[in-house]
């Protein structure tokens, strides 16, 4: 049943938010829905009392939770398709197998994109009028500058509701997410990155306008605010990932010396632990390795054979491509094409 499937995802999202078992496995249900294990009910033990409550009280939000996870999963794949770590995750739900190492830049990205996906999906649903608890941004309505010939109109995306929900859903109850003097823990790191993801939605919003008036004179303009397509949010977060900052962990020994520390703002992604190089398969670490990955012989970027294959070299195969070509429009009304064959080299990492 619909709600049961959705609750499975809810559960996985929450399991991901739990500090010690940080895993990217929630995406597993973001991309596959068939063949999932028996879905646990909303009341299953891993949920805290507050989360169970949220699950029961607001079942109408659960489709958006699933949409948000899908959005986040596919955008993660998209942004990392050329990297050694291609956003592949353990094919098993948390607790059943290898998981991605915690506290790395990669998990920082995952937390951020996941929180952002949730805001995006919930807000979209609000704007489409699907929910009674939220809608378009009513505060803007009627405002604007009539002197300059424009006013707010249409439906401005109101991200407040989705942002608050994303916080309540993903973050645990720990309130203080600011860095304490003693450094970060996995929990505060993850919360910081989730918040950076939510901020990314805010920061990539834009104002769109439409002209009215006699034949495009643009005497009157109507403007509204809208969220960026999620692809743009993903690109923004990828950029943040590339400039992410390593922060000190909390030391169990004496308080650390007062070191000058680079200040971290809420838009930055942070991580505690250095990443592995993702070159070799490590089942226990949840790393797929790059063997068999397709690489580009002429590229100097991360998808180039040298970098992607970690210097191990590559195999070359000849693949036959069949495409439609020389298409012509035939009056009336169809398109006739020829089948063209080409032989291309394909390179895969050793
Ligand atoms: C809103 O509801 C309509 C009709 O039920 C559905 O087709 C659409 O996908 C929903 N939109 C969102 C963002 O959930
Ligand atoms: C990621 O790479 C692994 C091999 O390292 C491959 O099996 C998997 O299909 C890739 N995933 C995507 C989404 O490209
Ligand atoms: C390989 O990389 C080159 C240079 O970046 C690019 O022009 C080309 O389109 C790439 N080929 C494929 C198959 O992606």
Asked if residue 146 and residue 201 are part of one domain, the reply reads yes
**Is 257 among the domain residues?**
no
Residue 48 located in a structural domain: yes
Q: Is 319 found in the same domain as 184?
A: no
* Cβ-proximal residues to 97 (8 Å cutoff; 6+ apart), any chain: 90, 91, 286
Structure-block tokens of residue 210: 């439409």
Our count of domains for the chain comes to 2
Ligand 3 pocket test target in 294, 299, 348 with most atoms within 8 Å of CB: 299
Among 83, 80, 66, CA closest to 28: 66
Residues near ligand 1 with C-beta < 6 Å? 63, 124-125, 128, 130
From first to last of its 350 residues, the chain has per-residue pLDDT tens of 333 333 333 334 443 333 333 333 333 334 333 334 434 445 444 456 666 777 778 888 878 887 888 899 899 999 999 999 988 765 444 433 334 567 899 999 999 999 999 999 999 999 999 999 999 988 777 676 667 778 888 889 999 999 998 898 887 544 554 555 678 888 888 899 999 999 999 999 999 988 887 776 777 888 899 999 999 999 999 999 999 999 988 766 655 555 556 678 899 999 999 998 999 988 777 788 999 999 999 999 999 999 999 999 999 999 999 999 999 988 888 899 999 999 999 999 99
86 and 212 belong to one structural domain: yes
Which residue range forms the structural domain that includes residue 336? Answer: 294-350
Query: Strands of 144-145's sheet, edge to edge?
Result: 144-145, 150-152, 220-226, 206-212
Alpha carbons 3 and 41: distance in angstroms, whole number: 9
Q: Give 180's Cβ-side CA count (13 Å radius).
A: 15
Torsion of CA 261, 263, 267, 270, to 10 degrees: 10
Closest listed ligand to the CA of 82: 2
Whether 140 and 118 share a structural domain: yes
Which among 47, 106, 29 is positioned nearest to 287, based on CA atoms? 106
Enumerate residues lining ligand 3, CB below 6 A: 296, 298-299
CA–CA dist 247, 230 (Å, integer) = 28
> What pTM does this model have?
0.81
CA distance 291 to 274: 22
CATH number at residue 307: 3.30.2460.20
Quick: pLDDT tens for 179-199. 556 788 888 888 999 999 999
Residues 273 and 320 in one domain: no
312 assigned to some structural domain: yes
Residues 239 and 331 in one domain: no
Domain-located, residue 29 = yes
Q: Which tens digits make up the pLDDT trace of 61-101?
A: 878 887 888 899 899 999 999 999 988 765 444 433 334 56
Whether 203 and 312 map to the same domain: the answer is no
CA distance 185 to 249: 6
288 Cβ below 6 A of ligand 2: yes
Same domain, yes or no: 279 and 350: no
Q: Which has the closest alpha carbon to 33: 7, 61, 59, 60?
A: 7
CA of 296 to the centre of ligand 3 (A): 6
Q: Is 258 inside any structural domain?
A: no
Task: Tell me: do 118 and 190 sit in the same domain.
Answer: yes
- Residue with token string 């942070």: 270
């Amino acid at each position: 049943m619909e709600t049961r499937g959705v609750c499975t995802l809810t559960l996985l999202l929450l399991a991901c938010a739990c500090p010690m078992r940080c895993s990217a496995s929630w995406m597993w249900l973001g991309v596959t829905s068939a063949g999932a294990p028996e879905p646990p009910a909303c009341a299953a033990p891993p949920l805290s009392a507050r989360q169970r409550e949220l699950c029961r009280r607001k079942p109408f939000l659960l489709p958006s939770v699933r949409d948000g996870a899908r959005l986040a999963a596919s955008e993660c794949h998209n942004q990392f398709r050329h990297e050694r770590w291609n956003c592949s995750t353990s094919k098993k739900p948390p607790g059943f197998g290898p998981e991605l190492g915690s506290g790395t830049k990669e998990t920082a990205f995952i937390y951020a994109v996941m929180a952002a996906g949730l805001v995006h999906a919930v807000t979209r649903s609000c704007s489409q009028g699907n929910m009674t608890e939220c809608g378009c941004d009513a505060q803007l309505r009627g405002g604007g500058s009539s002197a300059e010939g424009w006013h707010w109109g249409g439906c401005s995306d109101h991200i407040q509701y989705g942002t608050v929900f994303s916080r309540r859903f993903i973050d645990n109850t720990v309130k203080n997410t600011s860095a304490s003097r003693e450094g970060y823990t996995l929990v505060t790191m993850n919360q910081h990155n989730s918040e950076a993801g939510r901020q990314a939605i805010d920061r990539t919003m834009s104002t769109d306008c439409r002209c009215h008036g006699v034949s495009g004179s643009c005497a009157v303009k109507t403007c509204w605010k809208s969220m960026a397509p999620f692809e743009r949010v993903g690109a923004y977060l990828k950029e943040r990932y590339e400039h992410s900052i390593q922060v000190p962990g909390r030391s169990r020994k004496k308080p650390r010396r007062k070191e000058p520390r680079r200040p971290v703002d809420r838009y930055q992604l942070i991580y505690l632990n250095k990443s592995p190089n993702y070159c070799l398969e490590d089942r226990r670490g949840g790393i797929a390795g790059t063997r068999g990955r397709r690489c580009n012989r002429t590229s100097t970027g991360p998808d180039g054979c040298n970098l992607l294959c970690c210097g191990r070299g590559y195999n070359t195969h000849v693949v036959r491509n069949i495409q439609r070509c020389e298409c012509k429009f035939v009056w009336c009304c169809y398109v006739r094409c020829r089948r063209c064959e080409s032989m291309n080299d394909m390179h895969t990492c050793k």
